[in-house]
Structure 1
Amino acid sequence: MEYLPISEYGVVGNDDRCALVGRNGSIDWCCFPHLEDASVFARLLDADRGGHFAVSPVADFESSHRYLDRTNVLETTFETDDGQARVLDFMPIREHEAPGHGDERFQQALYRRLECERGRVDFGVEFAPRFDYARVDPSFDRMNDGVLACGDTERLGLYADDDVDLEVVADEGRVDGTVTLEADEGCWIGVQYGGREPLASVDRDEALEATKHYWREWLGGRDGSPASMPEHWHEHVVRSELVLKLLIHHETGAIPAAATTSVPEKIGDPRTWDYRYNWIRDAKFTVQALHDTGHREEARHYFEWFSELARRGPDEIQPLYGLHGETDVEEIELEHLSGYRDTGPVRIGNGAAPQFQIDAYGTIVQALYETVQFDEETTITDDEWSAICELVDFVCDNWEKKDAGIWEFRDERRHFLHSKLLCWVALDRGLALATENGFDAPLDRWREGREAIREAIEERGYSDSAGSFVQHFESDEAIDATALLIPIYEFLPPEDERVQSTIDTVCDRLTTEDGLVVRFVDSDIRRDEEEAFGLCSFWLVDALVLSNQLERAREYFENVLECASPLGLYSEKIDPEDGTLLGNFPQAFSHLGLINSVTYLARALDADGEVTPEDFDPDNVETLFRRGDPPEP
């Protein structure tokens, strides 16, 4: 079997889990009982061994897919010579009012509704689960209304209406099925993790309607996004909101970086990582995006997550955590899986967890500061302030140390510009929280530390020869997209000559004609990357808006929108040559960047989304990470 392009997958899910559904009707990635657990379908990572659950016409077909309006319910339409049919895929949302729906296991399921719209369509079914990342082959037991797949300790029930004829092919580890549908006929098929119940007692039609209602109710507002969002970008924002909600863990508020593991950053390159973890560095972008789209409950939940992390103490902070706060996320290579398009290794766990990334402390302080700024109902308790003080003090004592940086270089430590910038942020926002709320703090010590970091960044982080802030203090030529964050964090104003020169250099050396931005070039740490990084491309848009280069910002932004999948989804990276999506998928970072860039553009453009530079006033276009007062000179 050939591997599908990442752009041909849709994602469905609910509070704790996601599944990738190909345009060919095959579910090629799904983990149960939760997103961070072992896969039951992993053909995404090995076409032969991974396992899948496919539903598609037996005859040759053309297919397309879309989401039902303002939902995460995926509709795939198949056309054959004899007819047209559709498959609706969704994971049910908990509805406590309905019998059985209050059981958490109710959500550990995936339903597929087959409907013939005209003519006649013969469907084929292939159900081939492979438990524990395809390390355990199943056995099968027949049930009255389906088949139970059994692993060592796991069970996955396949349910099907009576019209679906199922046959166990035990020696090949799968169940085959067929069903013929005439116009206006339909049937249900689905899987329930843990066995047959509670799916047996669920009305699937009611579950579908309840799930559609849930997504639309959650979006709320003006069909899903605040009125300040320009109409022509509305659908992009809505889809990004729905992606984020899919990824948010309902118990803890944590948000994994993506729903998958080990989709390579470049085909043939071993940069394959497990992204099903919550990275601290995502917090500063997440809080803003949730607030600007009106999802304050999720933002508060996220605040509580980071407030709890802060109370663990500075020495216990690590760059990433499991979705329940787990700290032990040992990285393991699964040698029996070949990887997406035979690009291994396939990894579970993430070896970056024990790294020293000092930018994490600034990220936590920034996220807490942002939440308090935006949400009048959120206040910082004495215990929380004590924890924040410990973080800021830690930065004062340790900002001069080398670290692994935001890009998590595994074998190198440097004085990374971004890390120093976030150290400055930790002290600056710590001072703001103290002075604005009357908290006790060693203000003189923090001010001295902030000034020392400023001097270091300005004296050692800017290269006259490169005309830009550079990746790390030891280099005069390494250009890194993180330098675009300097005006966004209000370290320097956008009109500063060094900021403008940095933006020009990034445009010249990191950016394609279409505005796609790679992470870095001319680094002594790792070779240049050819793939564009989605979030960095949105950072450039934001920096251009702050610089009053509105037409260019809008042009680049709309070019990046063209790089989304047909369903409006982004992975981590984009091949500038052909637009191929690369890296884990869907990527929270990319969708956060989209929302935040729309926020910037909406503040700078008029109500119809027209560019009006003559009316532009930088003081009215606040940075996402508002400091409040102007930065010190």
Structure 2
Amino acid sequence: MTATHTGPGHVSSAAPSPFPPIEEYAYLSDCHTGALVAPDGSVDWLCVPRFDSPSIFGSLLDRESGLFRFGPYGISHPTARHYVPGTNVLETAWRTKTGWLVVRDALVLGPAAPDDDVNPHTRPPVDTDATHVLVRTAEVVAGTVGLQLICEPVFDYGRVPAEWQLLDGDRHAADATGAGVTVRLATDLTMGIEGGRVRARHVLHTGERAFCALSWATGLITPADADQARAAIEQTCEFWRLWLAQARIPDHRWRDPLQRSALAIKGLTYAPTGATVAAATTSLPETPGGSRNWDYRYTWMRDATFTLRALHLLNLDEEAEEFMQFIADVQPTEDGSLQIMYGIDGRRDLPETTIDELSGYNGATPVRVGNAAYRQRQNDVFGAVLDSILLHTRRSQRLPRRLWPLVVSQAECAAKAWSEPDQGIWEARSEPQHYVSSKLMCWVAMDRAAKLAVLRGDGERAADWAQTADQIRADILANGVTADGVLRQHYGTDALDASTLLAAVFRFLPADDPRLKATVDAIAADLTENGFVLRYRTDQTDDGQTGREGTFLICSFWLVSALAVVGDLQRARDLMERLLRISSPLGLYAEEFDAHTGRHLGNFPQAFSHLALIGAAGTIILAERLGEL
């Protein structure tokens, strides 16, 4: 197969490939783990029992690393795919030469067990929780269809083939074991073991149904028949609909993308601790065929403020409270600061290794597990945490006692660190710099800490922290602004960086300040491809990596918010409409967008992109509503 090149050394993201386009995957979740389902009905990514566990289906990163297909024999392209409205349950319709088949897929949620032995909870018990079962049902609605089941797990990121054993000679249930993990496949089809895979095939007629289910639950419990499987999916639909009914979604033309973003974010939460994973995947490339491949199945502290803003905007206060408690639980470093990221169970060590046995998505290597950035110094973390605490305090009208020591420690750390260089918000693997956005977020830290101190009645600390905030602001405006009045990437360059749009998002400068307007205009004009925003120009920035990258969706949504803040509301609407039209066919977003081919790049689905969508939409909707007064 010959790759298509769009320039020297650049492989097109639209080159012919056996790997489905990233944006064509569907995402399933039970708030413990997530699965990606390809258009052909194959589960190409699933880690059990939780998001950051090794994969058992890994065809997303190597076509020989495990899959689980349930669909019509001989047909790979469905007629239609959609989420059951208001849910994270997938429904796929297939037209074959002889009939029509409808398949539903769900990671099932049901009545919570008294104790979850699979993924123990640190948060209070809930009424509905993951049952640790993937259920798939099929029904022929017209004619006859040959239904096929193929289940071929390859454990430990594609390194350990499954060993199968039928249960008591029953050809309707079998256990697969490898790398210390056992899963059970149950179905009403008659199965046969073929080496490391199980296969079944059966012709269904109009009105007939079939099911299959994969379990990693305690006792490997599965539905007993098609009726129980169907009931489990209906129960899951009910959970998602009842959850979404709690959200405050404005009656606006963007209601549907807001709902889908809310469901995506909820689907990226790890219910046992309240953490949110940045994405459900590892090593989906930011550069086609390149090495910008990272593991995003962890929780970044910088996501905190954007998560809280989005959840509170949508009235999802319970999720906000759970996330805040996760932040309160994590262990600080030796100097009292928080790491930039933690495991979803709160662990600090996330050592980065490579899985050299995997070919990588469309040849993009290395495949990474873990993320060495956890060791980096990134000074934006203080502002993210303290802004989130202020948001939550104002919403709940109280500052929990256990959060005040965190406020003090993070404010003190920010006061010491703000004048030092760091790796920046984009986690550059190069020499530290005096990044403007890092200092801006330190200003956020001191400004929010001062406001929290006022709320607590600590006037002395409030005055000291406000004074430090003023000092940081003066330093940025003295050293971080070009001769043209534009906020620069770092003190040693005039290069642009989309992270300076946070000056508008966090109200660092007044909306009518000419420096803010100049920064927004410069980024819109000179840091875009086809109107979509880049993080920075890779040829102007030493980030320790090679190759170009796509436009960053979060940065484009930040530009929407910034345009609205400086009063350019129509340009904000125009860009927002363009961004909504490049979502995946199922309304999801990866990390990046290739403006040349229309393909998505990077890990998927990406929480940051959906959080920024909610923030941008909220900014415009608020401005529109205020304009109606």
Same fold, judged at TM 0.5 (above): yes
Structure 2, unpaired ranges of 5+: 1-16, 120-129
Aligned-residue sequence identity (percent) comes to: 34
Distance 2:366 2:624 in 1: 46
Distance in 2, matches of 1:320 and 1:62, equals 39
* Aligned equivalent of 1:294: 315
Residue 520 of structure 2 corresponds to: 503
Match of 1:130 among 154, 158, 161: 154
Instruction: Tell me how far 1:61 sits from its aligned partner.
Output: 5.4
Q: Larger deviation: 330-339 or 60-69?
A: 60-69
**Residue deviations 1:106-157, cap 9 Å, x none?**
6221000011111111012211100111121111101222221111411111
For 2:186, the equivalent position in structure 1 comes to: 159
CA distance in 2, matches of 1:528, 1:20: 27
Match of 2:598 among 579, 601, 609: 579
- Code of the residue aligned with 2:516 in structure 1: it is V
* Aligned mate of 1:258, from 261, 279, 290: 279
Contact 1:148 1:195 in 2 (8 A): no
Report what 2:127 is aligned to.
Answer: none
CA distance in 2, matches of 1:524, 1:568: 32
* Cross-structure match for 1:482: 499
- Name the CA distance, whole Å, in 1 between partners of 2:81 and 2:606: 20
CA distance in 2, matches of 1:66, 1:559: 21
Separation in 1, partners of 2:85, 2:414: 47
1:299-340 deviation per Cα after TM superposition (whole angstroms, max 9, x unaligned): 011111222337777535211100010111100000000100
CA distance in structure 1 between the aligned counterparts of 2:224 and 2:147, rounded to whole angstroms: 25
SS of equivalent to 1:486: helix
Deviations 1:62-84 (A, max 9, x none): 41210001011100111111111
TM-score, normalised via structure 2 length: 0.91
CA distance in 1, matches of 2:321, 2:271: 12
**Is the CA contact (8 Å cut-off) linking 2:276 and 2:299 kept in structure 1?**
yes
1-structure distance, mates of 2:323, 2:474:
33
Match of 2:36 in 1: 20
Distance 1:81 1:185, change over 3 A: same
1:319 aligns with 2:349: no
* Correspondence for 2:349 among 323, 328, 353: 328
Whichever residue aligns with residue 469 of structure 1, its letter is L
Partner of 1:91: 107
In structure 1, C-alpha distance between the alignment counterparts of 2:202 and 2:458, rounded to whole Å: 68
Aligned residue identity for 2:383: G
Instruction: Tell me which residue corresponds to 2:90.
Output: 74
- What letter corresponds to residue 484 of structure 1 in structure 2? L
Please tell me whether residue 188 in structure 1 is matched to residue 211 in structure 2. yes
Alpha-carbon distance in structure 2 between the residues aligned to 1:441 and 1:581: 50
Correspondence for 1:379: 399
Answer yes or no: is 1:146 the counterpart of 2:173.
yes
1:404-415 → structure 2 map (5 Å cutoff): 404-415=423-434
- The aligned residue for residue 621 of structure 1 is none
Matches of 1:22 and 1:524 in 2, distance apart? 36
Give 1:380's aligned amino acid: P
Matches within 5 A, 1:52-451: 52-60=67-75, 62-63=77-78, 64-96=80-112, 107-143=131-167, 144=170, 145-161=172-188, 164-170=189-195, 173-193=196-216, 197-200=220-223, 203-221=228-246, 224-226=247-249, 229-309=250-330, 314-376=335-397, 378-381=398-401, 383-439=402-458, 441-451=460-470
- Asked if residue 558 in structure 1 is aligned to residue 581 in structure 2, the reply is no
Shift in Å at residue 606 of structure 1?
Answer: 4.1
What secondary structure, in the 3-state scheme, does the structure 2 residue paired with 1:462 have? Answer: coil
Q: CA RMSD of the aligned region, Å?
A: 2.1
Residue 230 of structure 1, CA deviation:
4.2
In structure 1, C-alpha distance between the alignment counterparts of 2:404 and 2:333, rounded to whole Å? 13
Residue type of the partner of 1:373? R
**Contact 2:45/2:60 (CA < 8 Å) preserved in 1?**
yes
Distance between the aligned counterparts of 1:81 and 1:505, measured in 2? 55
The offset of 1:491, in angstroms, is 1.2
Q: Which amino acid aligns with 2:152?
A: A
CA-to-partner distance for each residue in 1:271-291, whole Å, 9 max, x for gaps?
000000000010110001001
Quick one: distance in 2 between partners of 1:37 and 1:292? 32
Q: Does 31-40 or 438-447 show the bigger shift?
A: 438-447
- For 2:11, the equivalent position in structure 1 comes to none
User: How many Å apart are 1:448 and its aligned residue?
Assistant: 3.2
Question: Residue 332 of structure 2 contacts residue 338 of structure 2 at CA under 8 Å; is this kept in 1?
Answer: no
CA–CA distance in structure 2, aligned partners of residues 34 and 290 of structure 1: 23
Letter in 2 for 1:47: R
3-state SS of paired residue (1:479):
coil
Letter aligned with residue 192 of structure 1: S
- Consecutive unaligned residues in structure 1, runs of 5 or more: 617-633
Superposition TM-score, scaled by structure 1 size: 0.90
State how far apart, in whole Å, the 2-side matches of 1:147 and 1:386 are. Answer: 52
2:332 and 2:374 mapped to 1: Cα distance?
18
2:614 matched residue in structure 1: 595
